[in-house]
A = this chain, B = another copy of it.
Amino acid sequence: MDISNELAIGIDIGGTNTKYGVVNHRGQILEKGEIATEDYPEIGSFINALHTKLDPLISSLKKENVQGIGIGAPNGNYYTGTIEYAPNLKWKGIIPLAKLISEKFELPAALTNDANAAAVGEMTYGAARGMKDFIMITLGTGVGSGIVANGQLILGHDGFAGELGHTIIIPGGRIHEGTGMRGSLEAYASATGVTKTAVELLEKNSGKESLLKKYSGKINSKIVYECAMKNDKLAKKVYEYTGKILGQALANFIMFSSPEAIILFGGLTRAGDMIMNPTREHMEKNLLPIFQNKVKLVFSELVESDAAILGASALVWEMRSE
């Protein structure tokens, strides 16, 4: 069969929405759409809804061209094909998602967590093309990570490797509401973390002027971003502090797997140099000399809304090469 006709379906399951797309080998999304994850508290009805949307697309593109379905989902486990106890999804316990989808669609299906899917997408179509060793850090509502070494995803013995957002950067530091742990990276370098830092800095600097003041009680990461873009000193300090913690964490990650690059992805990266500069500074400062000025720290090259679909679809090509 002509490889250029081959297609893969990518599905990105989030707490709010599920996005899907049909992707070719060049990473072009030929068709896409979405359904509201929240509308389907029962997994069977969710899969039926997906099938109703995707089946006509698959038929119109000729089913024999579709090689399989790749899925990225919170707490998705590649080895078992299950979603296990995902806090942001309504389906509780252990869901055998890859099996359910494979049976319904009569196509091979592979599942991994959303950050691993993003890493595969970046390796196949984005900033990590040609790299064998890199780390993908997703900075969104939470902090996720996908680690590639020797050209392979690091999944660990149980499929749960790469929870870098939960590593402790400041022992005894800020509490993480979701896990109850103190000082984890996610408590600082996520949207929630940025909001908390802004509130803390406002309290400490009550005598100083800041645009943030008029949002007292309803500050969120979007407001911090907007104020920083208006050159508000305190809002910019929020990014400096966030970058400092993130940079310290990245230095530790580098001394673990010595990647060629670290790729930052997600909402926080919109802050551009405001977050990149302090992150790079504190990353370099905390590295042994043999690691300094070697690791590329870059933003993702993929459009955020497409990246998760591309990453999930790329799992299908990975499946084939095993």
Interface residues of A (CB under 8 A from B): 84-85, 131-133, 147, 149-150, 152, 154-164, 166-171, 179, 181, 248, 251-253, 255-260, 286, 288, 290-291, 294
Contact = CB atoms under 8 A, between A and B. Distances in A.
16 contacts: A132-B157, A149-B150, A149-B154, A149-B161, A150-B152, A154-B257, A155-B258, A161-B256, A162-B257, A163-B256, A163-B258, A168-B248, A169-B171, A170-B171, A171-B248, A253-B256
A278 to B, nearest CB: 15
A8 B7 CA distance: 49
Copy tally for this chain in the complex stands at 2
Interface centre among A131, A168, A256 (most CB of B within 10 A): A256
Contacts of A248: 168, 171
Contacts of A257: 147, 154, 156, 161-162, 256
Nearest to A84: B290
Contacts of A286: 168, 181
A248 B169 CA distance: 10
A156 B133 contact: yes
A166 B256 CA distance: 9
A163 B255 contact: yes
Contact of A160 (B155, B163, B181, B291): B291
A258 B155 CA distance: 7
B152 A258 contact: no
A160 B149 CA distance: 13
